[in-house]
Amino acid sequence: MNAADGWDGVVRLVRAALGDDVVGAYPHGSAVAGGLRPDSDLDVLVVVHRPTTLGQRRALVDGLLAISGTRARGGPARPVELTVVVHDEVRPWRYPPRREFQYGEWLREAYERGETPGPTVDPDLAPLLTMVSAGGVALFGPAPHEVLDPVPHRDLERAVVAGIPDLLDELESDTRNVLLTLARIWTTLATGAIESKDRAADWALGRLPAEHRAPLARARAGYLGIERDRWDELRPQVRAHAAHVVAAIDRLVAAEGNR
């Protein structure tokens, strides 16, 4: 399935499952920040007028299991990450925001067992909504700026930093994504912009000492499809690299707190 078919499939599913409850659907992530890469997800935010029912959320799960990822029931496809928010929960903006639903391939096994995601507080919505607004693209519905309030920089900062402990727990199992995400957090705190993963890596590589560059360079190359992920010979350097980047992030957070 190509990217265009993927977007169309997601739109059809959202309209079928949620009907007139939908305000709009908005791409984010790689699609609006430098273009889709070989392993990029189709990242979609859906805004709805009112809370979803259990039946609606299950319909989304069942539909996404059929069209998302290498194990899609309809054949291999790009992974889909779909997030739903209720309009009144994010506008007017308040922190921490509340998420109505989320699907991602990392949750597939739980969803195949019959679990259905429900509403929860989710600080990660702050960078997600920021990317949607910056991208300015609607798959359908009003433009993002007509639907979403700007996320204050302080709340964006709090949100991206909040996820670091969980990221570090996955350093061994998801090395490429963790290193690229840490680079993106560092870039966001330093510049105020949410860059694509490869651009964030470029920014960070220009600021890393030589002894800490190799792991991030490998992660960037894997993300771009230039080379395969191979970590055995770099494994001793990966944790030192992550510690160096987290220390740089901590310094930025401390400096912001002292202003």
Q: What is the mean pLDDT of the chain?
A: 91
Look up residue 119 and give its amino acid.
P
Q: Categorize the per-residue pLDDT at 34 as very low, low, confident or very high, splitting at 50, 70 and 90.
A: low
**pLDDT interval class at 2 (50, 70, 90):** very low
* Per-residue pLDDT, 73: 83
Q: Give the tokens for residue 224.
A: 């771009």
Q: What is the mean pLDDT of residues 81-106?
A: 96
Distance CA 210, CA 168 (A): 22
Q: Residue 101 has which token pair?
A: 């639903």
CA-based radius of gyration for the chain: 18
> Is 29 exposed, middle or buried, given 0-12, 13-18 or 19+ CB atoms closer than 10 A?
buried
Q: Give percent of the chain with pLDDT exceeding 70.
A: 93
- 35-50: per-residue pLDDT in tens? 666 667 899 999 999 9
pLDDT average, residue stretch 240-254:
95
- The rounded distance, in Å, linking the Cα atoms of 198 and 23 is 32
Q: Where in the chain does DSSP place strands (E)?
A: 22-28, 42-48, 80-86, 98-99, 101-103, 120-121
The domain 3-150 having CATH identifier 3.30.460: the answer here is yes
For the chain, give the number of residues: 259
22 compared with 75, residue with greater pLDDT: 22
Q: Is the pLDDT of residue 4 over 60?
A: no
**Mean pLDDT, residues 250-258:** 83
- Strand 42-48 and strand 80-86: the pairing is parallel
Predicted pLDDT of residue 3: 52
Residue 5 pLDDT: 57
Residue extents of the structural domains in the chain: 3-150, 154-257
The catalytic site residues sit at 81
pLDDT at 46: 98
| pLDDT tens digits for range 123-158 | 999 999 999 998 999 999 999 999 999 999 899 999
The sign of the dihedral angle between the CA atoms of 237, 240, 242, 244 is negative
